Structure 1
Amino acid sequence: MTRPLHNEGHAVNVTRSRRLMRLMRLMPMRRKPAASRPAPGRKTYPYPLGGRVEQPDQVGCAGIADLPMRRGCLCPVAVMDRFPRKLLAWRISNTPAADFCVAARNEAATTVAHPRS
């Protein structure tokens, strides 16, 4: 829609044309991508937890970031237990190498979020 409006001499960018089309409830003629639908014939596997996390030490997660600094970068990594949302281990490195991630994971593996009685 932006290109025909430009050809007519209107100064309209993509964001404005999308907003106006949304307000007028106009839809494009092309098909929307079916990204969330599996391909036909593809085998699907059930989620082992069934969407429920009910106790500590059931699901863990890790997060890593790359923070640009004035000279180089800073790479923090954190390992958490999902149920109590407790931070089990974290590390910071100035190089994006895997060794500090493995060290944080090993430390988290030795840490118990909540001791079971």
Structure 2
Amino acid sequence: MRRLRKTGQVAKLVTKLLRFLREQGYPVNRKRVQRLMRKLGIEAIYCKPHLSMPHQPHRVYPDLLRNLAIDRANQVWSTDITYLLVLRGHFYLVAIMDWWSRKVLSWQIPNSLDVAFCVEALQAALESYGRPDIFNSDQGSQFTSNVRVAYDYEQATDWQRMPDL
């Protein structure tokens, strides 16, 4: 493994490294290769997803859920984006969920982190279930962008409890 590191072939995935070590006569399994790579400080070179990174000019909203008793449907909705790795690339899952019932109210699977997909998911939830008292998010750039905040103002001016922009 150290020889591979010196030759600059660190970008091999664990499976390729596993195959290489077995061909050299080392009785190893996947977990051992991962542990040895971690111990030696060897990492595969790839772009890691940069998710939930708020954009600096966007505002930060107060935490309205601290010490709040959630006792009915449509009181608090939450939204988040998760990264889905598939065989030929990746997608994102945008989901909106009601906290009381834990029901997923709407979702989208875009291939980019565009604000439009968040707005579409929000639109679908509003059309089907009405308006919540509070709409909570992790305040990533998709959720604090001017497009989404403007959309919220058009749909429900009081449910973020925000001052005028």
- The alignment's TM-score, normalised by the length of structure 1, stands at 0.50
Deviation at 1:74, TM superposition (A): 0.7
Say if 2:90 is the partner of 1:63. no
Residue 96 of structure 1 corresponds to 113
Q: 1:93 to 1:51 in 2, by over 3 A?
A: same
SS at match of 1:56: coil
- CA deviations 1:6-35 (Å, max 9, x no partner) are xxxxxxxxxxxxxxxxxxxxxxxxxxxxxx
- CA deviations 1:74-105 (Å, max 9, x no partner) are 11111011111111101111122121111001
Residue 6 of structure 1 corresponds to none
- The alignment's TM-score, normalised by the length of structure 2, stands at 0.37
* Stretch of structure 1 that moved more, 92-101 or 66-75: 66-75
| Count of matched residue pairs | 69
SS at match of 2:79: strand
Deviation at 1:47, TM superposition (A): 4.8
SS at match of 1:93: coil
C-alpha distance in 2 between matches for 1:78 and 1:99: 13
User: What letter corresponds to residue 69 of structure 1 in structure 2?
Assistant: V
C-alpha distance in 1 between matches for 2:111 and 2:95: 15
Paired residues for 1:1-117 under 5 Å: 47=64, 50-112=67-129
Q: CA RMSD in A?
A: 2.4
Residue 25 of structure 1 corresponds to none
Deviation at 1:63, TM superposition (A): 1.7
Contact 1:55-1:83 at 8 Å conserved across structures: yes
- Listed as ranges, the gaps of 5+ residues in structure 2 are 1-61, 131-165
Among all aligned residue pairs of Structure 1 and Structure 2, give the percentage whose two residues are the same amino acid: 30
Bigger helix share: 2
